[in-house]
Structure 1
Amino acid sequence: MNYILWVLLLISAGYGQLFAQSTPDQMANVVWTSQSKNSSESMPCGGGDIGLNVWVEKGDILFYLSRSGTFDENNAMLKLGRVRVRLSPNPFTGTDFKQELKLAEGGVTIRGGNVQVNLWVDVFRPVVHVDVQSAKPLSIKAAYESWRHKDHVVQGTEFRTNSYKVPQKFDVVTRKDDIDFQGNDILFYHRNRSDAETIFDHTVRLEGMDSVKDKLFDPLKNNTFGGLMRGQNMKPIGTDTGTYAQLSFKAWAITTTKPVRSQAIEIGLNVDQTNTLDDWKAGLNKIMNDASQTQKTARQKSREWWRQFWDRSYIRLDSRDTAVMAISQNYQRFRYQLGCNAYGKWPTKFNGGLFTFDPEYVDHKYAHSPDFRLWGGGTMTAQNQRLVYHPMLKTGDFDMLKPQFDFYLRTQKNAELRSQVYWQHNGACFTEQIENFGLPNIMEYGTKRPDGYDPGMEYNAWLEYEWDTVFEFCLMMLETERYEGRDITEYVPFIESCLTFYDEHYRQLAAQRGTRPFDGQGHYILYPTSACETYKMTYNSATVISALKVILGRMLELPGKYLDTKQREKWATMLKRIPPLPFQEYDGHKTLAPALAWARIQNSEAPQLYPVYPWGIYGVGKPGLDVAINTWTYDTLVVKYRSHVGWRQHNIFAARLGLTDEAARLTKLKFRNSTHRFPTFWGPGFDWTPDHNWGGSAMIGLQEMLMQVDGKTIRLLPAWPKDWNATFKLHAPYNTTVEGRVVNGKVENLNVTPQERMRDVILP
């Protein structure tokens, strides 16, 4: 062999091996060789904070447009429309059709005959790209389709997609969009009306917050969202009408002026709260006419972003077991879905993210518009949202945590005003079913309330007194300081405000009901509380106690710059006042209890195991592991509701307890391909499809099987099957990455950065 060729081959092989470590497994790419029946057989494509559902149906390329923050007057999260691209002559009539999601570069490629169409989203600029290449000239027609071309009165179960949730005594209307040709382009937008009451106004009024309305953060006022579709040398050819999934639509179309071999179509999307419509249009024009971004450089920068995204972290399994390989592939596919909202102003929604599709293909009884999703568009349910964001710590996706943190920072003042108006004390009170403006969802708050009922309380059997769920986000904020060394100065007052609420509110409640603010041991009287949505009217809830103990302890461990002496004394005193965790017995076995006492059971969660996860008080290598395992084994309701579906986190509990067989069984079920064509469009579970808290809980469980951290300790393979071989790279506290291979239950090629952290690693 030629010497130079031999050297080049060696270099190429080495480069390929290195590059393979920083890109997703090619087997994780999703490839379809037949067209789709409908939008339920779409695949995700996105970047920045834009998501597309892409599919080919009857020779037409179709995709839905979604972007973070598209909240209308009713707090539904509206899609930005549907695009249909038709090529003539149609290249997709043969048997060589191929549609592929290329995870490494974050785009979808569609091929047929001698034609290739690439769809991708600019990560750094909110622009969708459709690039057509053909060996022979063809004509291209691109149509923007809208089902919101006229006002629509919301009816029946359709209310579930907005914040009213149920029919009202007045008409609730989804207002029409403004859509028209602008020269050769198509302009479309929805601007929330200022001359009518929005759900924000409605909620403030009915929840008795009018006295401070001018101080409240309102994300709906003047919210405007839409975009512009254009193609070079394309011209308008008029409008048309049609029906898709039983819903009528109107289409505005542009076409190439002559047959072409190459064509680029761009769709710029703008979401902003602007004082005037002209201000919003100016922002859109800036997006579309950014001279610093050529299509070539934008594509290169976006590909580079996805390359570093995949290089941050990975878990790739190698097995002949198809169920194990599904774990590997679907872990990567779902992480891609999360990466499509890396830079959104608003968090990734647990109930579909950016990738919902026509709801009748999820459940026939919901034959509504593509805007529909159960559990609302602007409602950010904390117990579900947490599972979407917890896995980002070990993947090192710290920048992607910012939208969720910012959501709480924006709404902090509103939550504090709740405490001041209702109870005349300090601290931020966050409820479970929380709106994007920090107040309880009005239906969950309850509009038919008994006379004299506490106005700050949700009159709701599932949600009453459930205020502690915010602490998991406080924990994530604290973890970013420990994991990446982030300066969390802006988060510390938020965490303190959440702690202040519990301190002041429960002393106030005790003073109203007795002569002492504390019990006989000097502890808080945490009554009434709630252990998740399941154990209600609890005395000393395990979830509340665990949250307060861990958050207060972590606050006191912060470096000196974050808290002065007076603050530290305050939180140290509060920590001493937290009561001990409750216990109970089953068949003579000591177990964790959900609370010391409770009035009723409302749901089917396992809050007695929250001291295991998320709070990490019990677990592998920690005292009392036998008590936690007893809880898993003997608590009748923990056993009864053990499942992999939706938000259930039994896979995580099993991993944290070192129960390898159970963790593996549940993880296989969690990552099993969905019932829809795209493998990680799980759901609806308890929520909607794609179920993002299903995917998030699956990711967390797999991570915990592979690596658990406690302070500076890094424990590898605490619940890892010996026959699961894998390559991995995960993040640990103190700016640490841990990477290597697992072969037959042993860790090989272990690389810990920085090297001095190797002494903190515990091998199996």
Structure 2
Amino acid sequence: MKHLISLLCSGLCAVTHLYAYTDHKDTTAVNYAAIASAADLDYDRPVARSEEGMPVGNGRMGTLVWTVPSSLKFQLNRVDVFGNSSGSNSFYERNTDYCNGTGYMDIDFGQDVFTAPAFHQHLSVYEGQSVVSGKNISVRGLVWEKEDVLALEITDQRKETLPVTTMLHMLRMPVTRKGSHTAVSGLRQEGDYIVLTQEFREDGYYCSSALVAAVSGRAAEAEQNSTTTIRLRTLPGSGVYNIYAATAASFDPGEDVVKAAIGKLEAARKRGFSALVNDNRDWWRKFWERSYIQLHSADGQADYVAQQYAWYLYIMGSSSRGSYPVKFNGMLWSTNGDERKWGHLYWGANQSCLYNALFQTDHMELLEPMFDMYSRAYDSYAVAARQQWGSEGVYIPETTGFDNTPSLPDSIAAEMRDLYLVRKPWGQRSQAFKNYAYTKMPFLSRWNWKKDEGWKQGIWHSATKSNSTFGHVSHIFSRGAKIAYQYWLRYEYTQDTAWLRQRAYPMIKGVAEFYRNFPNVRKEKDGRYHIYHINDNESIWDGHNTVEEMSAMRGILPVAIKAARLLHTDADMVPVWQEFLDHLSPLPQHTAAGKTTWSRSLLPVLQGNPSGHPDGNTMPVWFFDLCTLESSPGIQQIGNDTYNTYFDNGIDSTAGVYVLSKLPATGALLGRREAVQYLVPNQLRRRKNEEVLSNRMDLSEGYQTTNVQRLGRAAEALQLALCQSVPAGPGKDNVIRVFAAWPPSWDAQFSLLCRGGFVVTSAIQQGIIPFVKLEAAQGGMCRIRNPWKGRVALFRNGKKAQVLKGGLLSFATARGEKVMLQRERQSEAFE
């Protein structure tokens, strides 16, 4: 650790001499390997529980690596394996649906080899490689970047050679039935491979997976020794050899997933283990060079935060490059089968913990699975808007499956609209509606009013949570706006007009039109549009003008207008949206002790405290850029007064922060240094009596939910404290600020992506900012708040081009141009 801190310090100290150079070069000499390696895991004894194993993955397939005395253990998981669809009628009991697992794999050495003190396990996050060693046994392992293959290199130096057995185990019994759902698993030998297959069927739904394993460099024999296990036993011998395991999955019953998996394995075997190592090294090297954060403080707090940030990036790089986003509850790291708390559905709020911070990392490839999933379901969201709510545009539920939102029979849809829009008394719902709802998954937003009452005399009983149509996520519409706003953010960060036209604008327009046509939005006598019978996240049920929904409308309408103008489309809709926006009701407010704060809802409400502050896990006002450091002083005052209500005793080292909380990030957006200094480390460590596993993950969502939600939230706050690019309101010009909420005792150096497509690199040491470098990926006007008092020298191509003055610095950039800003009095050496 001392050596690492020395490396970090040396990098930070170097930046203070940057101004002494006379050519335009990046002289920060970033040691990416040292920054990433700070997050390495190193164990000197076996973990006590499988959930603390070391993660390796390629974004599509992953596993934790852990040991028992005689064996190395894995559970190979994929992002695209789901036991059932959203239309299932077989998982009406909560937490019984499942996903992602393909099978267990054990490497058994025939005797106890992985025991202390001869034990050592290390994970290199810079290379994505795990090494485990025991008594005369050493194993290097990785998941190949190019194909879905786990590759192991085994060095066996035992004097008494023993067979080594590779075993594949089913995750359940060979045939499992639940309602009309079946899960059939099979084992077989094919050539020199052992094979484990799964097939999930329910009505028209189908998903299959295959896990295959083979040995290279040593003779092996296959045998099936139970109904759930097949093994491949190597003949005795010493030296180095390899074991490979590959997976494949498909929703097409005509696709041969075994053939696909064998093809991947053969590709890896032909390349050879050393070549796979080089492939991964090259990929991860390029990954780490996209952006970085390097921190140091005398008390070690900043170094700790930087370590956790690098770990977050490693986890997301290892798990979010597939056809579907990685799930918050378990990710690719399940170790006890494929059932987990909360099942196979995606909760928007939880997923945001993983994905919100990725924009500034300049890793858009890690965000693509999320966008792909929502875009694929666009047409079904349009149907849901009409069927369920009698509106136009698109309705994206807070809780959704990986697939389309199922369409409804016309008669059920008609009654649903009357019930959910509170036009028909809940007690008058028909028996046909009750029967239809009986078998539906209760975590899906549209059925979330359902309450489990358990099995009684062999019959499953369910009731309603509030004797009404409302449940925790039943009437949340702001998730759609947040997803659409993320589409907009991707455009702002990349300036990709094709993306805006083809992917983002349809979603933005769809959500804007949903709100505008929502039957429970109406213009009142005050001349303002009000929205009724909606939730405020999970806290307020059946509210009026809730802060979530009002913030969502005030956020999405301006960007719909701006996007339409940028694309020169829907000119007839722009004045319609503008009229709607101009006459929207204000955000709900509460005044006490002479201070005005934003509150959750206006009256009436069915459940919850309407005068309470906005949900700390969502902070909708700040999500939609309605309160930033560019906002008017009046807005900032309300924002700060609202923020203070979350901390009755102020913010210090004792302030606890929940896993999902956006309070650290909101504090950074408000320029609150104490929020970053204390809340970010506290969120990473969790509150008292809340466990953090040895691999820095946690089980905060319940059993089988190994996750890094808190790390994603803290990463977002950290980035915003270092560098934020925000407008005075949604759709307005973005302004860059460096070190807007930075603790004075922390030193830092970073390179992050900002809106407008600007990569910003800067540093601070002992409160001094020696430079700000900007690289304009797409060109355009750059606006940045002056980090110094006084005049600022702007350098282009290493030469002083102009002197800027004032608090807001604005200048044009060309595509690909690199610009350096420095305080004018420091720039005399350049003249």
- Same-fold call, TM cutoff 0.5: yes
- Alpha-carbon deviations, 1:504-538, whole Å to 9, x = none? 12xx336xxxxxx4223543221122221112222
2 CA distance for matches of 1:593 and 1:91? 60
1 CA distance for matches of 2:765 and 2:182? 56
Over the matched positions of the two proteins, sequence identity in percent amounts to 19
- Corresponding residue to 2:220 among 223, 235, 249: 235
2 CA distance for matches of 1:413 and 1:560? 24
Q: CA deviation at 1:575?
A: 2.6
Q: Which residue of 2 aligns with 1:375?
A: 342
Q: Which residue of 1 aligns with 2:760?
A: 738
5 Å-filtered alignment, 1:294-313, equals 294-295=271-272, 296-313=274-291
- Corresponding residue to 2:587 among 581, 584, 587: 581
Q: Which residue of 1 aligns with 2:208?
A: 224
Evaluate the alpha carbon distance shift between residue 184 and residue 611 of structure 1 in structure 2; reply closer, same or farther with a 3 A threshold: closer
5 Å-filtered alignment, 1:381-392, equals 381-392=347-358
For the residue of structure 2 that corresponds to 1:728, the secondary structure is: strand
Evaluate the alpha carbon distance shift between residue 523 and residue 449 of structure 1 in structure 2; reply closer, same or farther with a 3 A threshold: closer
1 CA distance for matches of 2:601 and 2:346? 26
Asked whether the 8 Å contact 2:520–2:531 carries over to 1, the reply is no
2 CA distance for matches of 1:509 and 1:546? 16
Q: Which residue of 2 aligns with 1:712?
A: 734
- Alpha-carbon deviations, 1:446-480, whole Å to 9, x = none? 99974338996753432232111121111111111
2 CA distance for matches of 1:409 and 1:679? 34
One-letter amino acid of the structure 2 residue matched with residue 435 of structure 1: G
- Alpha-carbon deviations, 1:75-110, whole Å to 9, x = none? 511411121113367654563422111000112111
For the residue of structure 1 that corresponds to 2:353, the secondary structure is: helix
Asked whether the 8 Å contact 1:76–1:371 carries over to 2, the reply is yes
Evaluate the alpha carbon distance shift between residue 20 and residue 639 of structure 1 in structure 2; reply closer, same or farther with a 3 A threshold: closer
2 CA distance for matches of 1:601 and 1:106? 48
2 CA distance for matches of 1:689 and 1:668? 22
Q: CA deviation at 1:612?
A: 4.1
5 Å-filtered alignment, 1:617-696, equals 617-623=626-632, 624-634=635-645, 643-672=656-685, 675-684=691-700, 689-696=705-712
Q: Which residue of 2 aligns with 1:144?
A: 168
Asked whether the 8 Å contact 1:646–1:691 carries over to 2, the reply is no
Q: Does 1:21 align with 2:27?
A: no
Q: CA deviation at 1:114?
A: 5.3
Q: How many residues align?
A: 681
1 CA distance for matches of 2:561 and 2:276? 45
One-letter amino acid of the structure 1 residue matched with residue 264 of structure 2: I
Evaluate the alpha carbon distance shift between residue 583 and residue 38 of structure 1 in structure 2; reply closer, same or farther with a 3 A threshold: closer
Q: Which residue of 1 aligns with 2:541?
A: 536
Q: Does 1:259 align with 2:237?
A: yes
Q: Which residue of 1 aligns with 2:443?
A: none
Asked whether the 8 Å contact 1:524–1:577 carries over to 2, the reply is yes
Evaluate the alpha carbon distance shift between residue 740 and residue 518 of structure 1 in structure 2; reply closer, same or farther with a 3 A threshold: same
Q: Which residue of 2 aligns with 1:590?
A: 596
One-letter amino acid of the structure 2 residue matched with residue 647 of structure 1: L
Greater CA drift, 402-411 or 599-608: 599-608
- Corresponding residue to 1:185 among 193, 218, 230: 193
Unpaired segments ≥5 residues, structure 1: 1-13, 155-170, 202-220, 242-248, 359-369, 511-516
Q: Which residue of 1 aligns with 2:821?
A: none
One-letter amino acid of the structure 1 residue matched with residue 665 of structure 2: I
Q: CA deviation at 1:483?
A: 0.7
Asked whether the 8 Å contact 2:600–2:613 carries over to 1, the reply is no
2 CA distance for matches of 1:261 and 1:635? 61
- Corresponding residue to 1:331 among 309, 314, 323: 309
Evaluate the alpha carbon distance shift between residue 458 and residue 140 of structure 1 in structure 2; reply closer, same or farther with a 3 A threshold: closer
Q: Which residue of 2 aligns with 1:353?
A: 331
- Corresponding residue to 2:475 among 465, 477, 481: 465
5 Å-filtered alignment, 1:265-664, equals 265-276=243-254, 279-290=256-267, 294-295=271-272, 296-358=274-336, 370-377=337-344, 379-439=345-405, 450-452=427-429, 458-459=448-449, 460-486=470-496, 487-488=498-499, 489-491=501-503, 492-505=505-518, 508-509=519-520, 517-558=522-563, 560-561=566-567, 563-602=569-608, 606-607=614-615, 610-623=619-632, 624-634=635-645, 643-664=656-677
1 CA distance for matches of 2:738 and 2:63? 37
One-letter amino acid of the structure 1 residue matched with residue 502 of structure 2: E
One-letter amino acid of the structure 2 residue matched with residue 412 of structure 1: Y
- Alpha-carbon deviations, 1:118-157, whole Å to 9, x = none? 1111122111111123456854321112242333467xxx
- Corresponding residue to 1:726 among 743, 748, 755: 748
Q: CA deviation at 1:23?
A: 5.6
Asked whether the 8 Å contact 1:109–1:117 carries over to 2, the reply is yes
One-letter amino acid of the structure 2 residue matched with residue 437 of structure 1: D
Greater CA drift, 684-693 or 382-391: 684-693
Evaluate the alpha carbon distance shift between residue 153 and residue 336 of structure 1 in structure 2; reply closer, same or farther with a 3 A threshold: same
1 CA distance for matches of 2:646 and 2:308? 32
For the residue of structure 2 that corresponds to 1:263, the secondary structure is: strand
Q: CA deviation at 1:718?
A: 1.7
1 CA distance for matches of 2:645 and 2:721? 22
Evaluate the alpha carbon distance shift between residue 339 and residue 629 of structure 1 in structure 2; reply closer, same or farther with a 3 A threshold: same
For the residue of structure 1 that corresponds to 2:211, the secondary structure is: strand
Asked whether the 8 Å contact 1:606–1:638 carries over to 2, the reply is no
CA RMSD of aligned residues (A): 3.5
Q: CA deviation at 1:565?
A: 2.0
For the residue of structure 1 that corresponds to 2:759, the secondary structure is: strand
- Alpha-carbon deviations, 1:286-319, whole Å to 9, x = none? 3334489713444322221111111112223223
Q: Which residue of 2 aligns with 1:97?
A: 119
Evaluate the alpha carbon distance shift between residue 421 and residue 17 of structure 1 in structure 2; reply closer, same or farther with a 3 A threshold: closer
One-letter amino acid of the structure 2 residue matched with residue 721 of structure 1: P
Asked whether the 8 Å contact 2:44–2:120 carries over to 1, the reply is yes
Asked whether the 8 Å contact 1:22–1:308 carries over to 2, the reply is no
2 CA distance for matches of 1:421 and 1:611? 27
1 CA distance for matches of 2:547 and 2:46? 51
- Alpha-carbon deviations, 1:178-232, whole Å to 9, x = none? 1222232111111122xx44xxx7xxxxxxxxxxxxxxxxxxx221112211112
2 CA distance for matches of 1:638 and 1:580? 30
- Alpha-carbon deviations, 1:340-380, whole Å to 9, x = none? 1232111111112111333xxxxxxxxxxx32221111x11
Q: CA deviation at 1:408?
A: 0.9
2 CA distance for matches of 1:103 and 1:666? 26
Asked whether the 8 Å contact 1:72–1:192 carries over to 2, the reply is yes
Evaluate the alpha carbon distance shift between residue 746 and residue 41 of structure 1 in structure 2; reply closer, same or farther with a 3 A threshold: same
Q: CA deviation at 1:419?
A: 2.8
Q: Does 1:703 align with 2:719?
A: yes
2 CA distance for matches of 1:234 and 1:428? 58
Evaluate the alpha carbon distance shift between residue 632 and residue 560 of structure 1 in structure 2; reply closer, same or farther with a 3 A threshold: closer
2 CA distance for matches of 1:687 and 1:642? 27
For the residue of structure 2 that corresponds to 1:406, the secondary structure is: helix
5 Å-filtered alignment, 1:74-85, equals 75-85=97-107
1 CA distance for matches of 2:118 and 2:58? 28
Q: CA deviation at 1:422?
A: 3.8
One-letter amino acid of the structure 2 residue matched with residue 372 of structure 1: E
Evaluate the alpha carbon distance shift between residue 735 and residue 99 of structure 1 in structure 2; reply closer, same or farther with a 3 A threshold: same
For the residue of structure 1 that corresponds to 2:256, the secondary structure is: helix
2 CA distance for matches of 1:418 and 1:92? 54
Evaluate the alpha carbon distance shift between residue 562 and residue 308 of structure 1 in structure 2; reply closer, same or farther with a 3 A threshold: farther
Q: Which residue of 2 aligns with 1:64?
A: 75
For the residue of structure 1 that corresponds to 2:769, the secondary structure is: strand
Q: CA deviation at 1:18?
A: 4.0
